Structure 1
Amino acid sequence: MEILFYIVPALMIALASCAVAAVIRRSLRISRAWNSGLTAEARCLRTYTTTSGGGDSSVRTTVHHVYAFTTRDGRGVRFEEQGGPGTTLEGDIVTVHYPADRPEHATARPPARGKLVAGTGCLLAFLGTFILFAVGFMVVTYAMFSAVGDFSQP
């Protein structure tokens, strides 16, 4: 029984750690695209939305865009980006930033380094706090079971 007090927080820590890695990876990917200095004109091929939630929770709508552009060396690239502006429609031309070695990691977001750092920092602070609470819960649970003893013994 007491093993659940260790397994569940450990799984939550593992999940939060994966989220930390994803947040850092996303931030670095966007930052590399902005810092590369390479831009191209891209056409929005498709725009669509997805919704999640409902029932007892609020509904969240996410806008997705599919873009296509040609790199300086003539390579055609197509990529999808979520969370873009709702004012970009199919057929619109936008400027994309991309790293030379991985043009499929392009972004149509205009450079906003401060906003990226602030958003990434807030997410990492939240996930770090979550992990600390889970570790604290495990420590308190261990101390509690050590002080009381094993409940399975008669």
Structure 2
Amino acid sequence: MFELLFYAVPTLMIAGFGYGAFVLVRRARRIGRTWSQGLTAEGRCLRMFTTTSGGGGDTSVSTHVHHVYEFTTHDGRAVRFEEADGPATVLEGDFVTVRYLPEQPERATARPPAHGRLAAGTGCALAFFGVGIAFCAGFIAVAHTIFTEMDGMMP
């Protein structure tokens, strides 16, 4: 029963890494498609705010800039969306170019196209997930070898 722990936890971690990779690739494909095939509209920044995460003290604190944008689709519908980690140079009241897919205007982006940066960021994150999966698989293999050898030593 104790051995099950050495198989179950890494297997759950592999599933988590795999799901994270799936979500990451799906998001990157959606953003890339929005940049290359999406429609453009003039949008306006309605609100800009920051959030912080981290404990302070000995741990690092990170600050993220968020924007709330509003634009009108080509069929006349007003859409409002929030985007995290946008440029700090965009202030409330500024006009921006918004890119959106007609079937999902609420998933629009005001970030300018940067396909290379998107590919590099996605590749680095996928490498991280791959290392995590490889580590967990290696851990399972070593645990299996140890438990197999231990069974042979027991009377």
TM-score normalised per structure 2: 0.91
Q: Does 1:22 align with 2:20?
A: no
Q: Is structure 2 residue 79 aligned with structure 1 residue 105?
A: no
Question: Which amino acid letter does the alignment assign opposite residue 103 of structure 1?
Answer: P
Question: Would the alpha carbon gap of residues 19 and 101 (structure 1) be closer, same or farther in structure 2, given more than 3 Å must change?
Answer: same
Which one-letter code corresponds to 1:53 in the other structure?
G
Q: Which has the higher strand share?
A: 2
Q: Which amino acid aligns with 2:105?
A: P
Name which of structure 1's ranges 32-41 and 60-69 shifts more when overlaid on structure 2.
Answer: 32-41
2:9 corresponds to: 8
Q: Which residue identity is paired with 2:83?
A: E
CA shift for structure 1 position 50: 1.3
Worse-matched range after superposition: 128-137 or 49-58: 49-58
User: What residue in structure 1 maps to residue 117 of structure 2?
Assistant: 115
Deviations 1:61-117 (A, max 9, x none): 111111110011101111111110111111111101111221111111101111111
Select the residue among 56, 81, 84 that pairs with 1:82.
84
Which 4+ stretches in 1 moved above 2 angstroms?
A: none
Cα distance change of structure 1 residues 145 and 38 upon mapping to structure 2, 3 Å threshold:
same
Q: Give the conservation status (yes or no) of the 8 Å contact 1:29–1:105.
A: no
Identity among equivalent pairs (%): 59
**Partners of 2:39 and 2:102 within 8 A in 1:** yes
Q: Is the Cα contact below 8 Å between 2:38 and 2:102 reproduced in 1?
A: no
Query: Aligned partner of 1:4: which letter?
Result: L
Deviation at 1:56, TM superposition (A): 3.8
After superposing the two structures, state which structure 1 stretch, 69-78 or 17-26, moved more.
17-26
Query: Do residues 44 (structure 1) and 45 (structure 2) align?
Result: yes
**Structure 2, gaps ≥5 residues long:** none
Q: Answer with 29-38 or 84-93: which moved more.
A: 29-38
Contact 2:54 2:62 in 1 (8 A): yes
Secondary structure of the equivalent of 1:72?
A: coil
For 1:129, the equivalent position in structure 2 comes to 131
Cα distance, 1:57 vs structure 2 = 2.3
- Larger displacement relative to structure 2 (127-136 or 12-21): 12-21
Q: Distance in 1 between matches of 2:102 and 2:15?
A: 33
TM-score (norm 1): 0.92
- Which stretches in structure 1 are left out of the alignment for 5+ residues? none
Cα deviation for residue 39 of structure 1 reads 0.6
